[in-house]
Amino acid sequence: MNRARRTRIVATLGPASNSPGMVRALAEAGVDVFRLNFSHGSHEDHAAALKAVRGAEMAVQRPLGVLADLQGPKLRLGRFGEGGIDVAPGHRMRFDLDPAPGDVTRVQMPHPEIFAALRAGMALLIDDGRVRLRVIEATGQWAEVEVESGARLSDRKGVAVPDAIVPVSALTSKDREDLKFALRIGVDWVALSFVQKPEDMAELRRIVNGRAACLAKIEKPQALQSLDAILDYCDGVMVARGDLGVEMHPEDVPVAQKQILRAARQRGVPAIVATQMLESMTSAPAPTRAEASDVANAVYEGADALMLSAETAAGLYPLEAVSIMNRIAERVERDPLWPGLMDAEHAGMEIEDVDALVAAARKASEASATACMVVFTTTGGTARRMSRERPLQPILVLTPDPDTARRLALVWGLEPRLGRQPESLESLTDDAVQAATLYRLAEPGQRILILAGTPFGAPGAANLLRLARAGAAGH
């Protein structure tokens, strides 16, 4: 079962979609990676969902990835005596560490780490930015604030500090337990929320220790300031526009999206565009025209994957949301202008031999006789490098490792499949030709480009480029 598009689709599982039948239907409709959102649901729910994905994988006969999305630190206000207070611009009050119920003069903010970071003049955003405050004075125990906009503060609303790096670990105690569980059940990707600095991702990588691929969610302005250093520790990255849009001005979010996608493309790091892509489809059977354009623009920008959140987790039309996202991506990729956009940007040549080999393969693939490329890989590194070049031919990836195949399900243009480890140049060519024919990626007589590394089975970069013809194994 091949995709008729290169852009991949990530769908969040939840009450509306986690039954085995629906998971299979979503995979058939176009989902490549399923997201388990650990902000909601029990461990038992997530284990059942992963089992359903593995069942769907067998049914559709293509690898399906599973992404565990950790909740991350949630900074919140305390409680009010009456559940909340009405405020107006100019209203002043104090935030402190006292757990007593709040009123119009003060309320608890049970996070000493926030007070440690606050300085006079900084902004505080409450309830996803619905209330904006300005810090007048701050100490390590309290802060005097003034309301700039908004009308109501209520119990346990979230707090964001866009002007400072809050000295808090991106991995909470809940995240650590969730991560331990996710690795035990065998997820393929782990996403870390509210990454602020490279050390956050370094800590995740130390714990994961190769048992899954690690992805950074960029949803804090501070992360943009250290983006290159954060990407050093990433196997993938997500443009998490929801929380990013809370702490940034709306006009800055599209620019940030392009900045992240461009940096990730240069590194060969797969990038997901997420949040509110088809938001109206949580309750409507069709998207707005603006949402359709948003999805299309992400495809034109060369994003590896697009993500659905509430649309599939809790919406009324999960299958329709996946189907329309699939159709939009397919339509964009048929646009005569789209190939030129994909070819407009290539990463600079690096010193490694594999980069020269990949560049040569991309150039050779431009010949009209070339039907597809076949990449043999153990870890997936060569396949990701090939994807970075955005060739228009399908990239069939053969690996003996199911974990590698599932991780590559997120990457632009790759068709990962399980295949045996070649034992010789002859078996390499035979296997490539047979697989390209089996998966209907090449017709008899068409050219196939084969990339592999020798010695076979040893992890490392590709050092071999061969040409073969479908129906003519051994040549």
Catalytic positions are 35, 76, 217, 275
Q: Element (H or E) spanning 10, and its range?
A: strand 8-13
Q: What are phi and psi of 103, to 5 degrees?
A: -145, -160
Contact call for residues 395 and 304 (beta carbons, < 8 A): no
The residue assigned the tokens 């490392």 is 460
Helix (H) or strand (E) holding 144, with range, is strand 142-149
- How many Å apart are CA 164 and CA 100, to the nearest integer? 27
Distance CA 11, CA 141 (A): 42
Widest CA span of the chain, in angstroms?
81
227 vs 261: CA distance, rounded Å = 11
- For residue 224, the tally of other CB atoms under 10 A from its CB is 17
What is the Cα–Cα distance from 116 to 118, expressed in whole angstroms?
6
d(CA 90, CA 379): 58
Please name the amino acid found at residue 337: L
Yes or no: say if 121 and 100 are a contact pair by the CB < 8 Å rule. no
Report long-range pairs for 101-109 (Cβ below 8 Å, ≥24 apart).
102/77, 102/78, 107/77, 107/78, 107/79, 107/80, 107/153, 108/77, 108/78, 108/79, 109/77, 109/78, 109/143, 109/159
Q: Could you give the CA distance from residue 339 to residue 353 in angstroms, rounded to a whole number?
A: 26
- For residues 78 and 94, the answer to whether their CB atoms sit within 8 Å is no
* CB distance 386 to 411 below 8 Å: no
